[in-house]
Chain A
Amino acid sequence: MIEELRRIVEERLSALDGVVALRRTPEGVAPFVFRKGDDLSELEIAPKYPLMTVVSRLHKAFPDIRLGVVARGCDERAYIEMAKRNQIDPARLSIIGFACTAEEAQECYCATPYPQQLLVGTPPPPGPVNPIVAEYDALPLAERRAFWKRHFSRCIKCYGCRNICPECFCEACAMEDAAWVEPGLLAPPFPVFHLIRAMHMASRCIACRECEHACPAHIPLTVLYDLMRRDMETLVGYLPGTDISAPPPLSVKLDQAPLRMSGVGE
């Protein structure tokens, strides 16, 4: 599969300024921009990094640059939510999509482990729902609060969940604003610190799992975001990362939002 990806990248490079992908060197694997003539045997696909953040950075820095990107399903979902918020210019990006393995889909609890623009590989069966979600659903309300309190009390406030997130691109962050989060506390104030991020992720989280992988305290962050995604889909009919033409529901006027009140709290 990777040989096929390398071949397509080489082909696309004739018409592009570069292709964003992972590169393996003796030092390890990191994001890279392959240019014409680069050694494509170094192109790698794992461990994954949020490559759309790199695309966004380069699109902003170089207004004329035309890029390709080697993308998994989650990369493409990140692209969809970033493009509609003007973080990536779709006209200057060519997506070279490949399917994750069945093992990766399982490990990531991924419902769509392949991109819509699939060029290489066969879609594996979707991964299972994270079993902690069902455990959480079975808890009474008071214990749900205790569940999060227990996990968030381990937080060392590294901001890694925010920093690694392809959908976190605000220039000023409420999680650093003393008006919202009292400075100097460890663990950070519960629940406001983590709920700020959860609210901001409501129409953005594309379930790439990067936040949970980056968390030094092993907080099951993706459970929180899976629950937010489920609520967004149930209440508003919006599943981030699926439709580039669907306006983000929290970015439109309230009187235009398709919020259905029935079902709230059910």
Chain B
Amino acid sequence: MEYKNTLTTCIYCGCGCGLYVETVDGAITAVWPAKEHAISQGKLCIKGWNATSFVNHPDRLTTPLIRKGGALVEATWDEALTLVAERLMTIKAESGPDSIAVLCSAKCTNEENYLIQKFARAVIGTNNIDHCARL
């Protein structure tokens, strides 16, 4: 029997509430609010309490999918990223960098969001950047 509580940050909004994911023998059994967390102080909203519900959800995507002839087909990461890079380069060449927008996510870390805005501005060349927490 291995009982563990792993401290993590809620992945949903930008508040950054602290929570423990409780596992017994590696399987998730509960979420506990982190009572000493500077921001959330032992409180969570409904999303935090359910922050782990997608982890083993049957609908969760486990591989990239590429739409081919109207159907989503499983692909490797190399295939998917190559396709995205090629399409972005084509769209930028045909319609200019401001025809592209980047939507980043509260589920990412600050550092990941920094990288994606850098990618938008320095690589693509657009200021069209927005964030799911504003939706």
Verify B42–A214 contact, CB threshold 8 A: yes
Given A57-B30, A58-B3, A61-B24, decide whether A160 and B44 contact each other with a Cβ distance below 8 A: yes
B12 interface residue per 8 A CB criterion: no
Nearest opposing residue in chain A for B8, CB measure: A27
- The segment from B31-39, B73-81, B90-98, B125-133 found at the interface with A is B31-39
Complex interface: chain A residues within 8 A of B49 (CB): 158-160, 163
Name the contact of B24 in the complex, choosing from A29, A47, A58, A214 (C-beta under 8 A): A58
Contact A216 B32 (CB under 8 A): no
**Known pairs A47-B35, A160-B33; A54 contacts B46 (CB<8 A):** no
Query: B20: which A residues are within 8 A, CB to CB?
Result: 30
CB-nearest residue of chain A to B5: A30
**Which residues of A are found within 8 Å of B45, using beta-carbon distances?**
156, 158, 160, 216
Q: Is B32 touching A62 in the complex (CB atoms < 8 A)?
A: no
A47 touches B36 (CB 8 A): yes
Interchain pairs with CB closer than 8 A, number: 72
Measured between beta carbons, the chain A residues less than 8 angstroms from B34 are 28, 30
Task: Report B-chain residues with C-beta under 8 Å of the C-beta of A58.
Answer: 1, 3, 24
Distance in angstroms between the alpha carbons of A57 and B23 in the assembled complex: 11
Asked if B35 and A216 make an inter-chain contact with CB atoms under 8 angstroms apart, the answer reads no
Question: Does A98 interact with chain B (Cβ within 8 Å)?
Answer: no
B63 CB–A CB distance under 8 Å? no
Q: Please judge, given known A-B contacts A61-B24, A163-B49, whether A32 and B43 are in contact too, CB under 8 Å.
A: no
Q: A31-B5, A61-B24 are known contacts. Are A156 and B33 too (CB-CB below 8 A)?
A: no
Can you list 25 A-B contacts with CB-CB less than 8 angstroms, sorted by A residue number?
A18-B1, A27-B7, A28-B18, A28-B35, A30-B5, A31-B3, A31-B5, A31-B32, A32-B5, A33-B1, A47-B42, A49-B32, A49-B35, A57-B24, A57-B30, A58-B1, A58-B3, A61-B24, A62-B1, A158-B44, A159-B46, A213-B35, A214-B33, A214-B43, A216-B45
Supplied contacts A30-B32, A160-B49, 10 more A-B pairs, CB within 8 Å? A30-B7, A32-B5, A47-B36, A49-B32, A58-B1, A160-B45, A213-B35, A214-B43, A216-B43, A216-B44
Give the interface of B toward A (CB within 8 A).
1, 3, 5, 7, 18, 20, 22, 24, 29-37, 42-46, 48-49
Chain A residues engaging chain B, CB cutoff 8 angstroms: 17-18, 27-33, 47, 49, 53-54, 57-58, 61-62, 65, 156-160, 163-164, 213-216
